[in-house]
Structure 1
Amino acid sequence: MARVGDFCIDTTEVTNAQYVPFLQAVTANPRMAEQPADVCSWNTDFQVASGYPKPADGDPNDPVRGVDWCDAYAFCRWANKRLCGAVGGGSSPYSNFAQPTDQWYFACSSNGRYAYTYGAGFDEKACNGDGTGRADASVVNVAQSTRCHPPASPFASLYDMTGNVLEWEDSCESSAVDSDCLTRGGWFKSPEPAALACNKNGRRKRTASAEGVGIRCCSP
């Protein structure tokens, strides 16, 4: 993790290799999976969705993907972290995705300084996402895109906050089980440059094991 301001954030997306021990732990003892009972009681299987490589079988350095919001929340809790939300603690209000009070936005934009994680203007070659939605685009190892990070300390060690995979955030429209929750950062098939900007978001049902969506955790 890297400390940025008053909190820490994972330097990369959570990898298959990091997700495997979580699966082993919660399979052996389901009580180790801490998730909000009111919205996640349905979630008893933390495996990735069908159609994605099982973490134990995939490239260990690829980001885990095909996880739902509750999987992401439970992983971060198991790792003694939390799903990124509001600076200072708790969920980030649904409308605050482009405010410096939102942990994910604060980190991606270097506290509002940059439109994209690496700078002011879009660079199709900096990150794994060229803004064209290429049919042959695919996920890559975390931190493989060596230019895909903010230019200055303390943010410079944060990789792939633009592109590669989207990342769940603790920011949901309501407390309904099937509420929309925010995903951030765009992914390798984002169809336009604007979708890869720090001040944009995606929206997925909390219950959806969404295509191209992974995890990044914060603390505290």
Structure 2
Amino acid sequence: MIRSSVVLIPLAALAVAVSCSSSNDEGRPPTQGNLPTGSVTTGTGGQGSGTGGQGSGTGGDGGGTGGDGGGTGGQGAGGGVPSPGCTNGVKDGGETSIDCGGGDCAPCPAGQACAAPTDCFSRRCEESAGGGTTCAEAQCDNGVKDGDETSIDCGGGAAPRGDNPACPPCADLLDCAVSSDCESLSCVGGKCLTASCSDKVKNGDETGVDCGGRCAGCAPGEACRLSTDCRERVCANQICQMESCSDGVKNGKETDVDCGGTLCSTKCPAGQQCTRREDCVTDVCNSTTRLCACPDGMLIAPVAGGGNYCIDQYEVTKKEYNAFLGASPMLAGLPAECSGNIYQPSDGWPYSEERAPVNYIDWCDAYAYCMWRSKHLCGKIGGGASSPADLANAAQNEWYNACSGQGVNEYPYGHAYAPRCKVNDPDGAFALKSVGPAPIPPVTMCEGSVTDLYHMSGNVAEWENSCDAEGNCLIRGGSRASEPDADDVAKGSLKAARCDARSYAPRRDDTNPDIGFRCCL
């Protein structure tokens, strides 16, 4: 019978054995039998760390073998376990959803979990149908300030940003961040201000910065919609134009439309604005009205469609014509047909009644006298000769326009013939020019279609600057010698006295006791 026995090994010897065993097993995973209780193996992987297993085994009866170590060193997983962050694809830290919300990360898009409005890009965190709270989409008509809005349902930019829609700009006095947040495009101190003509912004109905619309006109080169948007009142192709002397508008330094001032050579006719006499065709600028006025003895004749000119109140008298003869004028610019003309009346000279209309003068005499007076023989409106075809055109013919009151009246004084307005004796005394405060007989006060215009018919016929190619020139208004025909007698009229009467056209060099003239300007 074999007897068992226990062998006692000193602790010092055991320590040496363990030491030798560790040295011989380097590079292999430790086993439970040779891993002391409480020891830790450490495996390094990248920046990760793993804890080794703790192997402890109790010796079996009769010298059993120690247990194997049960753990190995940890493996580094791609640099170890990631730290919390906003781009790691993991909901961690204070995030309310993956990589968003929580204050440290960007706000979450619509549909993601949230805890507060600040967690959402839309600034709307609401209860969801499935429970919990999620970010809702911003809207421009929900009565809530959300998304990029600077005030309730407005502002925040003209283009969508992410899930946030572009809302309309804000009305005056609402909150804003930049000018585009405001209807007025004026954001000052965080508030939308009312558009003004001095805010250095193109807003309201302006066509340029602080100009156009209800503001002052824009300078040339600026945008425009209407002529009133422009300083010079000319808008072409939606651009304000420079002023000119032919644009049909009073602008620049003009005193009236395309006339007067220091830049335009055209002078203004009677009735138009002026600042000095040099602005006026008439060389007279009324210091009170600041309008070009007619010289003494002339009246303003309005033109249908706009404009004015001056016409002599009476036919030129013998006294007035005598002053012309006494001046012995040397006139340049007379028609070639008047070359070598002498101005002395062919008969009835010297005169006895200075107030009577001058007669026995030819067309060239009349033309020269008016030129000497810085006027012109009545012809075309605007100056020059009138075509014989326009004798009854109130828009073209100066004499007819004044006689008919812009083409309205048949006779100078109305629609019906007035025998009292004609000198009844074909060889009798003429009606005289009124001198002094009261008419002097035998003046017949038959006022014409222009106030204080007299003797347009029934005294002497009047030369007109309206000649044909053969040198035959119109005379107008009839005379004391005009007689009614049978039709006139039946109707109580006198065709020769009408404003539109086409009297015979004597040659330019004819003289007659019943032909005189008046001037226009």
Shift of 1:34: 5.2
1:197 to 482, 498, 501: 498
Please give the secondary structure, in 2, of the residue aligned with 1:170: strand
Amino acid paired to 2:378: C
Partner of 1:41: 339
**What value does the CA root-mean-square deviation take over the aligned residues?**
1.7
- Larger radius of gyration, structure 1 or 2? 2
Amino acid paired to 2:372: W
Shift of 1:33: 6.8
How far, CA to CA, are the matches of 2:374 and 2:334 in structure 1? 13
Question: 8 Å contact 2:423–2:431 — kept in the other structure?
Answer: no
How far, CA to CA, are the matches of 2:467 and 2:507 in structure 1? 9
**Larger relative contact order, structure 1 or 2 (CA cutoff 8 Å, min sep 6):** 1
1:119-158 matches, within 5 Å, as: 119-125=414-420, 127-130=421-424, 134-143=425-434, 144-150=442-448, 155-158=450-453
How far, CA to CA, are the matches of 1:33 and 1:11 in structure 2? 27
How far, CA to CA, are the matches of 1:128 and 1:148 in structure 2? 9
Partner of 2:510: 208
Partner of 2:490: none
How far, CA to CA, are the matches of 1:94 and 1:70 in structure 2? 17
Amino acid paired to 1:204: P
Which deviations, in whole Å up to 9, do the C-alpha atoms of 1:70-117 show, x marking residues without a partner? 000000000110000011111000111111110000001111111110
Is 1:71 equivalent to 2:365 in the alignment?
A: yes
Distance change (3 Å), C-alpha of 1:34 and 1:210: farther
Amino acid paired to 2:431: V
Distance change (3 Å), C-alpha of 1:88 and 1:136: closer
Shift of 1:135: 4.6
Question: 8 Å contact 2:364–2:509 — kept in the other structure?
Answer: yes
Structure 1: unaligned runs, 5 residues or longer: none
Shift of 1:140: 2.5
How far, CA to CA, are the matches of 1:182 and 1:135 in structure 2? 21
Q: TM-score, normalised by structure 1?
A: 0.85
Question: 8 Å contact 1:34–1:78 — kept in the other structure?
Answer: no
Shift of 1:137: 3.3
Question: 8 Å contact 1:34–1:74 — kept in the other structure?
Answer: no
Amino acid paired to 2:462: E
Which deviations, in whole Å up to 9, do the C-alpha atoms of 1:125-183 show, x marking residues without a partner? 1x2345xxx454332213554431136xxx11110001110110000012x4xx11001
Is 1:169 equivalent to 2:464 in the alignment?
A: yes
Partner of 2:53: none
How far, CA to CA, are the matches of 1:85 and 1:184 in structure 2? 11
Partner of 1:61: 355
Question: 8 Å contact 2:431–2:444 — kept in the other structure?
Answer: no
Question: 8 Å contact 1:128–1:145 — kept in the other structure?
Answer: no
Question: 8 Å contact 1:25–1:32 — kept in the other structure?
Answer: no
Structure 2: unaligned runs, 5 residues or longer: 1-297, 303-307, 435-441, 485-493
Shift of 1:32: 3.6
Partner of 1:16: 318
How far, CA to CA, are the matches of 1:190 and 1:104 in structure 2? 19
Which deviations, in whole Å up to 9, do the C-alpha atoms of 1:49-83 show, x marking residues without a partner? 12x232xx330100000100000000000011000
How far, CA to CA, are the matches of 1:135 and 1:156 in structure 2? 27
Is 1:99 equivalent to 2:390 in the alignment?
A: no
Shift of 1:210: 2.2
Equivalent residues, number: 201
Amino acid paired to 1:53: W
Distance change (3 Å), C-alpha of 1:140 and 1:110: same
The runs of at least 4 aligned residues of structure 1 exceeding 4 Å deviation read none
Q: TM-score, normalised by structure 2?
A: 0.37
